[in-house]
Amino acid sequence: MSAQPYDIAWCPGCGNFGIRIALEEALHELAIPAQQIVLTSGIGQGAKMPQYLETNYFNGIHGRSVPLAVGIKLARADLTVIAVCGDGCI
């Protein structure tokens, strides 16, 4: 499920490392095909999360990851949609 062939560009000690690992493990355990998953994100450090996982993703503008996720889920109820929110996104 991990997509990065390169180093992750978060600061050492960033909490996003643990979040990414937990999300990756959960998706692996659920055995959802990567093409059936969409992650949405806004800007900032949280926006990098989808780029480090092998899924479909949409990076929007600040504070829009939840509305994007809702819209995608309404349009494609068959997909697993996850909104990634960083500081200030909610």
Alpha-carbon gap, residue 49 to 89, rounded angstroms: 14
Cα four-point dihedral sign 72, 73, 79, 85 = positive
Q: pLDDT tens across 10-49, in order? A: 888 888 889 899 999 999 999 999 999 999 998 887 788 8
What's the token pair of residue 7?
């180093």
Does 72 score more than 70 pLDDT?
A: yes
16-84 is a CATH 3.40.190.10 domain: no
pLDDT, mean over the chain = 87
DSSP secondary structure string for all residues of the chain: -B--SS---SPTT-THHHHHHHHHHHHHHHT--GGGEEEEE-SSGGGGGGGGBSSEEEE-STT-HHHHHHHHHHH-TTSEEEEE--TT--
Please give the pLDDT value at position 40. 94
